[in-house]
Structure 1
């Protein structure tokens, strides 16, 4: 439980992000590229375990293209008894999509998805590791047309 508490304490200090997406050989998406942006954190209230939200905005460019596309996301982090839950609020708070619950890995200090999130035939998993300047959240998406890896890096001030 120590890793979960440490990550939850780190979340409110995050201010920036960058990510890279890589399409694997089985992908039909061709979604490889790089993105970067800012993170504004909000909390429902000042309670120690209150959900908090990452309001992300920035730019993304597909590999080999100079034109960037703006993006916006809202992710909600919730501390539960033995896990850290992650939701995507792309359609608002009331229609949040659960992504996965992160639990302590059996070995080491990483957090890993307790189970895969299924979206149609696609399977989402993740791994989170704290580092010196924030944390890394690596996603893996596999399905009939998807073979994607997304490496998010979140940074404190």
Structure 2
């Protein structure tokens, strides 16, 4: 079995077991949004065929502010040589396809292409761990220079 297939199979095994997340958002030097803070919460992973939906709920605290409630819904579509990630916050019919993650080695998947949202480009790197995975998002655009570090963990 190749390293690439090993990484995909490992991720497919981990996804349904994820129960919690934490993340930090960091504004880079060129950011005009100042979007820095941290969040955490729970994940309800729901499997249906080759799809696993992450129903995320928790709190986000923007630097210097009070925590606010947050919710997200991501759909992971499992395919033999890739995992497609979509954002379904506004419902399945209004899903935003983000990118396909492909294996870089036995522990890492990366976005095959960046996702373009208006002038902003989104890319990601996923690192597999024994107790979950880390997903680092990079967002670059005329006003944005942000990195989000998600930590998804099992029960």
TM, length-normalised to structure 2: 0.94
How far did 1:80 drift? 1.6
Structure 1 consecutive aligned stretches of length 4 or more whose deviation exceeds 2 Å:
none
Q: Which residue of 1 is the match for residue 121 of structure 2? A: 123
Task: Give me the whole-angstrom Cα distance separating, in 2, the residues matched to 1:108 and 1:87.
Answer: 23
Once the two structures are TM-superposed, the CA of residue 108 in structure 1 deviates from its matched residue by: 5.3
CA offsets 1:12-43 (integer angstroms, 9 cap, x no match): 00000000000001111111001000000112
- Residue 135 of structure 1: aligned partner: 133
Residue in structure 2 matched with residue 56 of structure 1 by the alignment = 56
2:33 aligns to what? 29
Q: What per-residue deviation string (whole Å, max 9, x for no partner) do you get for residues 17-75 of structure 1?
A: 0000000011111110010000001122xx4xx2010000000001223x101000000
Determine which structure has the larger strand proportion and give its number.
2
Show CA shifts across 1:60-106 (max 9, x none). 001223x101000000000123100100001101111011100011x
Unpaired runs of 5+ residues, structure 1, are none
For the residue of structure 2 that corresponds to 1:91, the secondary structure is coil
Whole-angstrom distance in 2 between the partners of 1:41 and 1:34 = 22
Distance 2:23 2:75 in 1: 18
Q: How far did residue 109 of structure 1 move? A: 2.4
Residue correspondence of structure 1 range 36-47 to structure 2 within 5 A: 36-44=40-48, 47=49
Q: How does 1:93-112 map to 2 (within 5 A)?
A: 93-105=92-104, 107=105, 109-112=107-110
Name the TM-score, length of structure 1 as normaliser. Answer: 0.93
Aligned length: 151
Q: Which runs of 5+ in 2 are unaligned?
A: none
**Partner of residue 146, structure 1:** 144
- State the Cα deviation string for residues 94-123 of structure 1 (Å, max 9, x = none): 111011100011x55200000000001100
